[in-house]
Amino acid sequence: MSDHRSPDTGFRTSLLEENDGPAVNPTDNRTMGEIIAARFSRRGFLKGSLAVSAIAATVSPLALVAADDARAAEASAFTFDELEAGIDDKHHVAPGYDADVLLRWGDPLFADSPEFDPAKQSAEAQAKQFGYNNDYVGYIPIDGSAEHGLLVVNHEYTNPHLMFPGIVKIVDKDGKKAAEVAPLSKEQVDVEMAAHGGSIVEIRKDGGKWQVVRDGKLNRRITSNTEMQLAGPAAGHDRLKTNADPAGTKVIGTFNNCAGGVTPWGTYVMAEENIHGYFSGELPEGHKEAANYKRLGIPEGAYEWGAHYDRFNLAKEPNEANRFGWIVEVDVNDPASVPRKRTAMGRFKHEGAESIVAKDGRVVFYLGDDERFDYAYKFVTTGKFNANDLAANKDLLDDGTLHVAKFGEDGTVEWMPIVFGQGPLTAENGFASQADVLIETRRAADLLGATKMDRPEDIQPNGANGKVYVMLTNNSKRKAEQVDAANPRASNAFGHIIEISEDGGDFAAAKGKWEVLLKCGDPSVAEVGATFSTATTANGWFGMPDNCAVDSAGRLWVATDGQGPKATGRTDGLWAVDTEGAARATSKLFFRVPIGAEMCGPLFAPDDQTAFVAVQHPGDGGEDWEAFGRPSYYEDLSTRWPDFKPDMPTRPSVVAITKKGGGKIAV
């Protein structure tokens, strides 16, 4: 998700207000006949007049749709009983499953970690506890086990108005109640910095239930204060040098780590996404980084870190922002290892770094750049994966070719190499080296003519069928004249999913074919133009696809970000999406989050017997829900934490979903 100050409340919060698509009925109170009729009219429109008249001449449209629904339902790869969509303050899972909270913000990870106490937060305590908002979730087996491993979790960002008691005041503004957030103290900023980054946590399944191994020997917190090394072509470049690091190779910390990945050699990769918010101040007049920073929206100043730490103030440390926006790789087997920022993989608002070994042994990473009208990328290593000696893959990510996607109107996709000296990436356009090209990846991709997408989020290769799924979450700013084949809707409030088939089934291929798997949104509202299969129920459709996963059977699961009362009348959740055969584009709701939360993860244990999901910022969004310990935004939030009880659904959490009685999920 993107985190900005809300114009309504001043809170650093989600971009819910941007998901302002056509009005939808939040209730589910139409008859089945109305739903079928609405679907039929959409199908008729999609399939053309010939199909419609042929149908009309023979059988009743309702009978035909019902028959189609039955065929699709029969062909579905998912057998669970669907959960009902809705809105309340709790999480819910489909019948027959347990959804147990495994980790929550503030949970102690080490022997000497203090217990969580919202009234006594400190940076020291937070650095020994599970961090705030959790986005990416990965699992790295210990000794090959599906029941004992390391859970790696990105802590993307912080919501101070939900974290700190007493910082919100209600004021009268032009005769209306408005909220004012007090400036954070240095101590609160320090808590925020410690709440970002990632957690590496040993977990074990005992008697069918997952437990955290407190003080596991590989447990680790990575924060915005963890020392890291810059590696690859841009390391040591002048544009990465600062007063604190005249060599341009040592960075302190990582932040806004959104979706990420685990490599085939068992390291944890964290993608630095909305880095612009952490910088404030102004570059010196005429500074050479001005255009570079503008292209990334730097500085945005949503965070107050620059008021307390000079490195986040562009006036004082103009190069620091060039040291963020990278992919970070962490060796989880050594808690003292120095994470590496892998500059070969480009610098942008990185989302996701899911990987797969190509036919010839090179490793391919799919990377989104989550901004309206930005691009989809893939990185192909030069070296080959060594499965026999995992340590030999240690620096594979320092050498390879980054590519950006051009989606043709004819259904082909071209992966264009981003290489200094090739095409327009030359001195004439201000690039003196590959380091320059990587530091300004977006500008290089602009020059190559990449296709401007509707906010590329997670991109997932699927080894089971050779396909790649691209989540495009939404783009309310796309105008009718900006519509193209790969971004087919103007004012795209609900997003879509593209499926890529790389040429020859080779993930490293330079070209492929693509098609739209799904246009999202409510399929019963004609002007939305959603394309779920006719077998999809009123609970089964969704908007704003964001993170995703494939299980080991190759089935697609999609998590959403940005639904809610105003946008879709349902909370975010996890949907199972058929991609094959008659059931293709049928979607079913499996899990949903409390109001105000975003659905992240998701991740399947290697034996498919657990789905780990991450619940970010429950309670954000301004609605009245007593269980959150506050009546609404427009009251003093100091009423929130004094009433704190450990089981309140207020804390970002990782939830482990298992089938009652055991067995594989959804089989």
Return the closest-CA partner of residue 328 out of 233, 260, 401. 260
> Which residue has the closest beta carbon to Ca ion?
561
Go through 483-494 and write b for each residue having 16 or more CB atoms within 10 A of its CB, e for each that does not: eeebbebeebbb
For the bound state, the minimum distance from the C-beta of residue 646 to Ca ion, rounded and expressed in Å, comes to 26
Q: Which stretch binds Ca ion (CB under 5 A): 4-12, 157-165, 258-266, 340-348?
A: 258-266
Closest separation in Å from C-beta 156 to Ca ion: 8
Cα torsion through 233, 237, 242, 244, rounded to 10: 60
Compute the least distance from the CB of residue 484 to ligand FEO, in Å.
Answer: 21
- State yes or no: residue 234 binds Ca ion (CB under 5 A): no
**Tokens matching residue 506:** 């080779």
Burial 435-461 (b: 16+ CB within 10 A, else e): bbbbbbbbbbbbbbebbbbbbbbbbbb
- In the complex, the smallest distance separating the C-beta of residue 479 from Ca ion, rounded to whole angstroms, is 24
Greatest alpha-carbon span in the chain: 78
* Interaction residues for ligand FEO, span 117-156 (CB under 6 A): 135, 156
Considering only 371, 436, 546, 620, the residue that binds Ca ion (CB under 5 A) is: 546
Burial class (CB within 10 angstroms; exposed 0-12, middle 13-18, buried 19+) of 308: middle
Which of ligand FEO, Ca ion, none does residue 273 bind to, with CB < 5 to 8 Å depending on kind? ligand FEO
C-beta closer to ligand FEO: residue 348 or 514: 348
What is the three-state SS of 588-617? EEEEECCCCCEEEEEEECCCCCEEEEEEEC
| CA 149/CA 41 separation, integer angstroms | 50
Contact between 258 and ligand FEO per CB under 6 A: yes
Q: Is 614 in the site for Ca ion (CB under 5 A)?
A: no
Beta strand pairing status for 227-231 and 340-342? parallel
| Site residue total, ligand FEO (CB under 6 A) | 9
Q: Which of 190, 245, 304, 457 binds Ca ion (CB under 5 A)?
A: 457
Spatial contact of 435 and 239, defined as CB atoms under 8 Å apart:
yes
- Do the beta carbons of residue 167 and residue 637 sit within 8 Å? yes
- To the nearest whole angstrom, how small is the minimum distance from the Cβ of residue 251 to Ca ion? 23
Q: Does residue 351 interact with ligand FEO by CB under 6 A?
A: yes
Q: Does 1 bind ligand FEO (CB under 6 A)?
A: yes
CA–CA dist 208, 204 (Å, integer)? 10
Strand, helix or coil for residue 439: helix
Check if the beta carbon of residue 181 is closer than 8 Å to that of residue 11: yes
Query: Which helix or strand (DSSP H or E) is residue 57 part of?
Result: helix 49-58
Residue span 512-551 as binding mask against ligand FEO, x where in contact by CB under 6 A, dash where not = ----------------------------------x-----
Count the residues of the shown chain that bind Ca ion, applying the rule CB under 5 A: 5
Taking contact as CB under 5 A, which single stretch among the options 41-49, 219-227, 359-367, 539-547 is the one that binds Ca ion? 539-547
Supply the minimum distance, in Å, between the C-beta of residue 327 and ligand FEO.
14
Smallest gap from Cβ 122 to ligand FEO, in A, equals: 27
Enumerate the β-bridge partners of residue 613: 655
Interaction of residue 561 with Ca ion, rule CB under 5 A: yes
CB of 648 to ligand FEO, least distance (A): 25
Minimum CB separation of residue 546 from ligand FEO in Å reads 6
Cα separation of 569 and 220, whole Å? 39
By CB under 6 A, residue 273 contacts ligand FEO: yes
* 15 residue type, one letter: L
Cis peptide before 642 (omega within 30 of 0): no
Among Ca ion, ligand FEO, none, the one that 190 touches (CB under a kind-dependent 5 to 8 A) is none
**Residue 156 binds which one of ligand FEO, Ca ion, none, with CB within 5 to 8 A depending on kind?**
ligand FEO
> Starting from the edge strand earliest in sequence, which strands make up the sheet with 456-462, in order?
350-357, 362-369, 376-384, 400-407, 412-417, 511-519, 496-502, 467-472, 456-462
Q: Which of 289, 329, 370, 502 binds ligand FEO (CB under 6 A)?
A: 370
Choices 10-18, 337-345, 544-552, 638-646 (CB under 5 A): range interacting with Ca ion: 544-552
Q: 62-81: which residues touch ligand FEO (CB under 6 A)? A: none
Per-residue binding letters, 442-481, with ligand FEO (x by CB under 6 A): ---------------x------------------------
Minimum distance of ligand FEO from residue 367's CB (angstroms): 12
Phi-psi region of 558 (alpha: psi -120 to 50; beta: other; left: phi over 0): beta
Interacting residue ranges for Ca ion, rule: CB under 5 A: 1, 258, 457, 546, 561
In the complex, the residues that contact ligand FEO under the rule CB under 6 A are 1, 135, 156, 258, 273, 351, 370, 457, 546
